[in-house]
Amino acid sequence: MILTFPHMGSVYILVKTLFDELGATYVIPPKGSKKTLELGTKYCPEMACLPLKINVGNFLESIEKGADTIVITGGCGPCRFGYYAEMHRQMFKDMGQDVEIITIEIDDTGIKGLIAKLRYLFPNKSLLSIANAIVKAFSNMKEADKLDALSYKVRPREQEKGATDAIMNKFEADVLMVTGAKEITKLIKKTQKKLKAVPLIAGYEPMKIGIVGEIYTLVEPLTNMNIEKTLGNMGVEVNRVLTTSHWIDQHILKAGLKIGKRDFEKAAYPYIKTMIGGHAQETAGHTVMYANSGYDGVIQIYPLTCMPEVVAGSILPTISKDKDIPVLTLVMDEITGEAGYITRVDAFVDMLIRKKDKEKQNERVLSRS
């Protein structure tokens, strides 16, 4: 059995840790590219979500490299994610691809069904060693997300342009060459140290932008056209609360333990009172939280036809007005052009700089009067 899984930013670090620890044979799909998108677009219905199209492209590239079993997560709820797994099964059958699809989810067979699937995937491993591997994988995912967050702080402040990108590019190449949880952790820590040692521009206070939206589009550089890098290289500090480890923490651990309303739910409450699928509540809640923390602006990114984000997007102008925080919405699909995208981001940053300058001028006038 040769396993594969969908690419979604640095999720491969979580899965690689898990599969290495459990001794599985697997193929990491190549990084998302134009070819991935073309393959997915060719076989998926036009109105399917962009993440689904990229997943299909990923799987076809992995099958070319020998994968025969696809491992994906499943779910239920008001958005289309709930029937992705079944759609994949039908599509690969129609394509004549002899590939098995295992969905990791708690369905109507309950926890028993999930355990049976894990036993099938890792036949020679005890449940305890599977649980241990999951804990190590989650820990590495958290560290990898912290590494990304650190790069968002360092990049706009670096003295030598490209220093952060060079460190992160090397990390992405090196992590594929190491095996096992321990080695991956060591490499992440080493890279964190390198980032902390990058010489910074003294006294530079960058503009701060929060990123919100649909998780796949936010986490996967192919679908957000490297928004964090683009803004960082414009001298802007970026923050994105919605990461894979944050999602696991909030939606699996905290929601599972039922320990009351999560921060984003409380912040979103005056605007969206209930879960409507996808990340709509997080988009609204995080926008409020960014405004309350003094961020200069928020960018919402989501794939065309994503219902929950369309709803959140219709509420953001109200939050923007109530909280006096500018919001830019970027809707992505397979024909979104990079030049137009960069122009919009550039114009948004320019507008934020002018707004900040004006506010400073007004403060100076007020302090003199």
**Residues contributing to the site for ligand SF4 (CB under 6 A):** 49, 51, 79-81, 214, 216, 278, 303, 306-308
Residue 232 vs 308, nearer CB to ligand SF4: 308
Minimum distance of ligand SF4 from residue 331's CB (angstroms) = 11
Residue 24 vs 272, nearer CB to ligand SF4: 272
Q: 169 by DSSP, 3-state: which?
A: helix
Q: Tell me how crowded residue 26 is: count the other CB atoms within 10 A of its CB.
A: 21
Q: What's the DSSP call for residue 31? A: P
Residue 149 vs 304, nearer CB to ligand SF4: 304
> Is residue 88 within 8 Å of 56, Cβ to Cβ?
yes
What Å distances lie between residue 312 and 65, 83, 205, 279, 364, CA to CA?
39, 22, 30, 8, 37
CA–centroid distance for 286 within its chain: 15
Residue 207 phi/psi, 5-degree rounding, is -65, 145
Residue 95 vs 311, nearer CB to ligand SF4: 311
349 closest CA partner among 240, 226, 230, 218: 230
Minimum distance of ligand SF4 from residue 41's CB (angstroms) = 15
Residue 178 vs 310, nearer CB to ligand SF4: 310
Residue 10, CB-side half-sphere exposure with 13 Å CA sphere: 26
Tokens representing 352 are 């934020």
Minimum distance of ligand SF4 from residue 355's CB (angstroms) = 31
Residue 40 vs 303, nearer CB to ligand SF4: 303
Tell the burial category of 46 from Cβ atoms under 10 Å away from its Cβ (0-12, 13-18, 19+).
Answer: exposed
Minimum distance of ligand SF4 from residue 279's CB (angstroms) = 7
Q: In this structure, are strands 236-239 and 207-213 parallel, antiparallel, or unpaired?
A: parallel
Spatial distance between the Cα atoms of 240 and 283, rounded to a whole number of angstroms: 11
Minimum distance of ligand SF4 from residue 20's CB (angstroms) = 28
Minimum distance of ligand SF4 from residue 130's CB (angstroms) = 27
Minimum distance of ligand SF4 from residue 82's CB (angstroms) = 8
